[in-house]
Structure 1
Amino acid sequence: MTTAIPTPEPGPEDISRALAEIEHHLLEPTSPYPPPADPDDPEEAGQTKRVRRLRAEVAEARALAALQTDNTPLLLDTPRVRRRRKKAHEAARLHRLGRDPEMRAWQAARMRRLLTTALMVALALALAWSTAGVQHFAAEGAPAWSPGWIFAWLVEPFMSIALLGIVGARAYLGTQGQPLDNPKLIRIEYLFLGLTLGMNAWPYLPWTDDDFTISRLVLHTLGPIVAVAIVTALPIILAAFARLDPTRETPADRGLTGLTYSANTGDRVRLISPEVAALIERAQVLIAAGTLPAAPSAYRIQRALRCGMDDARAVRDALAQEAA
């Protein structure tokens, strides 16, 4: 059995001595340089402050030289490079998406709807512009707010509503790929437009207006003329959209067109697109079957192949060169 030896408690002198040592240590000035070398130590002989400072500078220079040869920081993207790469990647994806047939079909449908809406609004505004001129013609000088003056305001609206109904039906069917080109409907359209134009222009013609001016005549016939132009152009535009094939490659998609060599052209090279080449093969089949003559015209080729006139001319020229 062991007994613990009691530790003597520190007295007031011990506590005072410890506090004095702590205070001396805290108040002792510190130097940024290493302590002076001991002259009695052979390893520290000559290690002056200047030598130790120069030794530290050399060590620092060697460390910096080793770090500067490391190109790892140069491989990291700066925020500006990162933003630019992100934009370039997004542009490449949008370009690929723009060549997708489904995206092209959506863009074509969106553009067709936008153009149809814009033209129909313009047509409605043009007919509304001519309402005042038709009312002036139909009122025939009736007093304001008289029955004849009031009913004269109804002449243009009921013609415009009927015309818009016909044009709207043709526009809708055109967007569905089934253009409505019935000659009777076309004659009805031009009948309404002719009546509107005649009633707007008649009071301001030279033999009916003592104060005739070209500007007044043009101003009052502007609405009907715009309406005629829209009614004429809208079916053509919608028919072009109906023939649009979103799966067909454009020259931008194909890059350079394929090179086709002819046996009798020597060193000459003709650039023929795949679409025209397919049309040439179809034309050759029709010529062999007797449906087309040996040297068909571009019009005959267009009617037989149901293609554009430019493609028909290209097919005609290719067939002529092969026959030569």
Structure 2
Amino acid sequence: MTTAIPTPAPGGDDDISRVLAEIEQHLLEPTPPHPPPATLDTTDDDTEGDTAQEAVGLGETKRVRRLRAEVAEARALAALQDDDTPMLLDTPRVRQRRKKAHEAARLHLLGQDPAMRAWQAARMRRLLVGAAMLALTLALAWSTAGVQHFAAEGAEAWSPGWIFAWLVEPFMSIALLVVVGARAYLGTRGQPLNDRKLIRIEYLFLGLTLGMNAWPYLPWALPDGTDFPLSRLVLHVLGPIVAVAVVTALPIILAAFSQLDHTGSGGGLTGLTYSANAGDRVRRTAAEVAPLIERAQLLIAAGTLPAAPSAYKIQRALRCGMDDARAVRDALAEEAA
């Protein structure tokens, strides 16, 4: 920077002195520093478009804002990591399992009701009687062919003797079913019919059916030179044997049904109720969580927990599982009672 020095006029000493004083004063004045050039960090693509004023004056660049957001997010996550509330919620699978367990417990209690037990016994008895009568009917129908072969005595097909031979087994079977059906019905009504005459009639019909089915295939009834057909004999006596078994077993089964005690007050074995099982389970669990109970009592005495805390509050205070918290709650409730 150059400053023009005025040329003094000749003969003017005052003017020269004044000019020299001005030059001296100008040289003594401090020179103002030049401001540094504004620079921007161009190493990050996110800072493109920021002005020098934003970078130097305010300092709120995109990198700063992004880092501030990351720090705030980290602080929020650190605060939420200590909260165990999501772990206390029941998952859909747990709720479904608890629902099934509750339903099973109620069905068990309903099964102990005398009316329900009587209804179940009556339904099972009807089912068994129906199956026995069906098996008896099929067994007698199976033996019809063997009785017809015995009664026909070699008569020609569709001759009167051959046709009437088919009626021998049906009228015996119908008479037998009358006796067996009457005994079965009275047995279901709690009045078993054990008259000896009826029993003899049953075995008479069954004996005739068995004899007529087996006779043509016995060794002494076979023509000379004929091998003994054991398989055919077994097949023909199978129907009468099943009929004998059904007639023998059905009255015994019905008599046992008639002696059932549906109230559970008799000497028979009865299932344990859920209340007794639950009491044993609570006492056993309370012994296992005794240290937790002591800690809960200390917290109640200190005022940290209320006098009757919920399982959720106990779980939060003791940092234990929900099952243990429920056991502690129940134990505290029993002590308070």
The question of a shared fold, defined as TM-score above 0.5 by the shorter chain, is answered with: yes
CA distance in 2, matches of 1:53, 1:152: 106
Q: Does 1:217 align with 2:233?
A: yes
Q: List structure 1 runs of 4+ shifted beyond 4 angstroms.
A: 31-41, 46-49
| Corresponding residue number in structure 1 for 2:143 | 130
Q: Does 1:96 align with 2:109?
A: yes
The AA in structure 2 aligned to 1:252 is G
CA contact (8 A) 2:132 2:246 kept: yes
Q: Does 1:245 align with 2:261?
A: yes
Match of 1:166, SS state, is helix
Q: CA deviation at 1:163?
A: 0.3
CA contact (8 A) 2:136 2:242 kept: yes
1:32 to 1:72, Cα distance in 2 relative to 1, 3 A: farther
Q: Does 1:186 align with 2:199?
A: yes
CA distance in 1, matches of 2:239, 2:56: 115
CA distance in 2, matches of 1:120, 1:223: 13
CA distance in 2, matches of 1:57, 1:225: 89
The AA in structure 1 aligned to 2:193 is L
Within-5 A mapping of 1:206-285: 206-210=219-223, 211=226, 212-248=228-264, 250-253=269-272
Which one of the candidate residues 151, 160, 166 is aligned to 1:153?
166
Give the CA RMSD over aligned residues. Answer: 2.4
Deviations 1:91-137 (A, max 9, x none): 22222222222221111111111110001000001100110111111
Match of 2:154, SS state, is coil
Gapped runs of 5+ residues in structure 1?
1-30, 257-324
TM-score, normalization by structure 2:
0.61
CA contact (8 A) 1:133 1:199 kept: yes
Which of the pair has the greater relative contact order for Cα pairs under 8 Å at 6+ separation? 2
Q: Does 1:54 align with 2:67?
A: yes
CA distance in 2, matches of 1:223, 1:52: 95
CA distance in 2, matches of 1:80, 1:34: 54
CA distance in 2, matches of 1:91, 1:140: 64
Which one of the candidate residues 142, 150, 153 is aligned to 1:140?
153
CA distance in 1, matches of 2:111, 2:49: 71
When structure 1 is superposed on structure 2, of 74-83 and 142-151 the one drifting more is: 74-83
Deviations 1:60-109 (A, max 9, x none): 11112222322232232222222222222212222222222222111111
CA distance in 2, matches of 1:117, 1:53: 82
Match of 1:253, SS state, is coil
Match of 2:157, SS state, is coil
Match of 1:207, SS state, is helix
CA distance in 2, matches of 1:183, 1:243: 21
| Corresponding residue number in structure 2 for 1:170 | 183
When structure 1 is superposed on structure 2, of 170-179 and 69-78 the one drifting more is: 69-78
Deviations 1:176-206 (A, max 9, x none): 0000011111111111111111111111111
1:39 to 1:164, Cα distance in 2 relative to 1, 3 A: closer
1:33 to 1:228, Cα distance in 2 relative to 1, 3 A: farther
CA distance in 1, matches of 2:48, 2:126: 83
The AA in structure 1 aligned to 2:131 is A
TM-score, normalization by structure 1:
0.64
CA contact (8 A) 1:99 1:253 kept: no
Q: CA deviation at 1:54?
A: 2.1
Which one of the candidate residues 86, 90, 105 is aligned to 1:73?
86
Work out the percentage of aligned pairs sharing the same amino acid. 77
| Structure with greater Cα Rg | 2
| Corresponding residue number in structure 2 for 1:200 | 213
The AA in structure 1 aligned to 2:141 is A
Q: CA deviation at 1:160?
A: 0.2
CA distance in 2, matches of 1:82, 1:33: 55
When structure 1 is superposed on structure 2, of 59-68 and 236-245 the one drifting more is: 59-68
1:40 to 1:139, Cα distance in 2 relative to 1, 3 A: closer
When structure 1 is superposed on structure 2, of 47-56 and 150-159 the one drifting more is: 47-56
Within-5 A mapping of 1:289-300: none
The aligned length equals 223
CA distance in 2, matches of 1:115, 1:39: 95
CA contact (8 A) 2:55 2:61 kept: no
CA distance in 2, matches of 1:130, 1:208: 19
The AA in structure 2 aligned to 1:164 is L
The AA in structure 1 aligned to 2:271 is A
Q: CA deviation at 1:55?
A: 2.1
Deviations 1:263-305 (A, max 9, x none): xxxxxxxxxxxxxxxxxxxxxxxxxxxxxxxxxxxxxxxxxxx
Q: CA deviation at 1:49?
A: 4.2
CA distance in 1, matches of 2:187, 2:123: 14
The AA in structure 2 aligned to 1:236 is I
1:34 to 1:79, Cα distance in 2 relative to 1, 3 A: farther
The AA in structure 1 aligned to 2:259 is R
